[in-house]
Amino acid sequence: MVTQRSIGIVLLSLLVLPLALILACDKVPLLAPTGSVITLLPVTNTVSLNSEVQIIATVIENGVASGGTGTTSTQSGGGTAVQNGTLVTFTTTIGRIEPSEARTHNGQVTVKLITGDASGTATITAYSGGASATKELKIGTAAVTTVSVTTTPQSLGAAGGSAQVTATVTDAGGNPLRGVPVTFATDAGAISPSTGTTDAGGVATATLTTNTTAKVTATAGTVTSTAATVSVSARGLASFTANPSAANAGVPVTFTVTPTTGVNLSNVIVNYGDGRSDSLGAISGAATISHVYNAAGTYTATATSFGASGESGTLSTTVIVGALPITLTPSSSTPTVSTPVTFTVGGLGNALVDHYNWTYSDGTTRTTTAPQDAHTFTSRGVKTVRVDVFGVGGGLVGTATTSIDVQ
């Protein structure tokens, strides 16, 4: 028998069931449909320690990924934005993502990667439904590309003293990296602290204390700076210079050693940095000496002074030597058989030359002290000639070749 009460229960059930279904559906997250493409776009590809970087993820339905490799995309084309409210989940191998889940608006969500004290390469992953994408970001020391070092001041008095050392750490784009540990080292004196941490400008500082010329290096991650030098005026030497400081091989370089006023030195030894040296003996005023470098390169020359009590100090200077730009010119580029051709060496400038070695493609070789040589070819065809120029010190300072067509 159907009662009024049973009818009411049935009606109530009909009302509650749809509501329950709606609530249940609301608890099921909306995910990207099959064929969707996720693209991760970080503001930068490097991140400092203890900082954060914004990451934008776009989710395109029926999109086509382009510009990426594997699961990593840098942009997506075609298709349309997924439905608003589509849930995207994020993970990272270093640091943390906030929020770890976000819902799209116009096919896009924005989250942040927050780093801590750990350096390395973080792999960021975003996924929704069957779609996913990854992106790698270098963090801390892993992002270091350049470490530059400067000192203030760059020179100290004869008694030595202290200089501030500044190391600037940047990534591949020249952006400063904050929170990166920097290790300082020196070949003379002491540096404190031996390890510092870069500030917001990517700068770490230390103090060098020395009573002799010292070189300082700074290391961040796997990158070590080019050494910065703090010079200390040598007791007994006022200056040591090279003129010119940039020359070609074979060209004389004049070095000038100037002692401190009123100081009599028993000897000064000049080391040219190429394995050769000279002794100037006792000097009381400026003294000069010439030297010829026989090979291209960068040389550090030093002057070491000696007084009554022994070595009193060393000064250094740098000389950059380039290859001698010699040329070889024939008197005729199309001579006839059995006609002498004169070959002339050019580009010698002020180079001091000891001799010239000539090599001809017909097997003939000769040595001359003059920059010219005549040769007769007895057969037709293209002939080559080479000359090797040797400086006064015996080193090869330049080579040139030329070709002629014998008719």
Residues of the chain within CATH 2.60.40.10 domain(s) are 37-140, 144-232, 237-322, 327-406
pLDDT at 395: 78
Query: What's the pLDDT score for residue 393?
Result: 72
Neighbours of 53 (CB within 10 A): 20
**d(C-alpha 407, C-alpha 403), whole Å:** 13
The pLDDT tens digits along the chain (407 residues) read 555 565 555 444 555 445 444 444 456 889 999 989 999 999 888 888 888 999 999 999 875 544 433 333 334 445 799 999 999 999 999 999 999 999 999 999 999 999 998 989 999 999 999 999 999 999 988 999 999 999 999 888 766 789 999 999 999 888 899 899 999 999 989 999 999 999 989 999 999 999 878 899 999 999 988 778 888 765 678 889 999 988 888 889 999 999 887 777 889 999 999 999 999 998 888 999 999 998 888 899 999 988 765 656 788 999 988 888 889 999 999 999 999 999 999 998 888 888 999 999 999 999 999 999 999 999 999 999 999 998 887 778 888 999 999 99
87 phi and psi angles, rounded to 5 deg: -85, 130
Find how far residue 91's CA is from the centre of its chain.
Answer: 33
Task: Identify the CA nearest to 241 among candidates 319, 304, 311.
Answer: 319
DSSP string over 36-73 = -EEEEEES-SEE-TT-EEEEEEEEEET-EEES-BTTB-
H or E element that contains 396 = strand 396-406
For domain 37-140, the question of CATH label 2.40.160.10 is answered with no
pLDDT of residue 3: 59
pLDDT at 233: 63
C-beta neighbour count of 78 within 10 angstroms: 12
Distance CA 343, CA 375 (A): 8
Locate all alpha helices (DSSP H) within 56-127, ordered by sequence: none
Give CATH for domain 327-406: 2.60.40.10
Of the candidate CATH numbers 3.40.1190.20, 2.60.40.10, 1.10.3430.10, 3.40.50.2300, the domain formed by 144-232 belongs to: 2.60.40.10
Q: What is the pLDDT of residue 63?
A: 59
Report residue 350 as tokens: 């002020």
What global pTM score does this model have?
A: 0.48
And the tokens for 47? 């991140």
| Sign of the C-alpha dihedral computed for residues 315, 254, 227 and 177 taken in this order | positive
Cβ-contact 112, 53 below 8 angstroms: yes
CATH fold of the domain at 237-322? Immunoglobulin-like (2.60.40)
pLDDT score for 196? 93
